[in-house]
C-alpha cells in the first residue's frame, strides 16, 4: 500500500486480517503527531457539525499502540 501524503499507516500489517485494498479499519499518524482513524461510521449519537465518530476493532488500536512502542 502506498502511504497517503502526510500520513504514516500504523495498522493493518501485523495483527488481524491483512488489508491490501485500504477498505478495513486502520489508524494513521499525521506529520503533526495527531491520528486519523479509518473505520465504520458510528451513529450512536449526533456529533457537532464537521465531526465524525468511527468504530474500530480493539485489535486495530492495540496494534497502533504497539507500533508506537507504548
Residue 7 cell numbers, joined: 500520513
Q: Where are the domains of the chain?
A: 7-67
Stated pTM of the model: 0.71
What pLDDT does residue 2 have?
Answer: 53
Distance of alpha carbon 23 from alpha carbon 66, whole angstroms = 22
Mean pLDDT, rounded, for 7-20: 72
Core vs surface per residue 10-47: b (16+ CB within 10 A) or e: bbbeeebeebeeeebbbbbbeeeeeebbbeeeeeeeee
Residue 54 cell numbers, joined: 468511527
Q: Which pLDDT tens digit goes with each residue over 14-46?
A: 655 666 656 678 889 999 999 999 888 888 899
Show Cβ contacts of residue 32 under 8 Å, excluding neighbours closer than 6 positions. Answer: none
Amino acid at each position: 500500500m502506498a502511504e497517503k501524503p502526510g500520513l504514516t499507516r500504523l495498522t493493518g500489517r501485523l495483527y488481524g486480517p491483512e488489508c491490501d485494498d485500504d477498505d478495513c479499519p486502520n489508524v494513521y499518524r499525521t506529520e503533526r503527531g495527531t491520528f486519523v482513524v479509518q473505520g465504520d461510521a458510528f451513529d450512536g449519537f449526533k456529533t457537532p457539525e464537521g465531526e465524525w465518530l468511527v468504530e474500530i476493532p480493539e485489535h486495530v488500536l492495540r496494534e497502533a499502540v504497539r507500533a508506537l512502542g507504548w
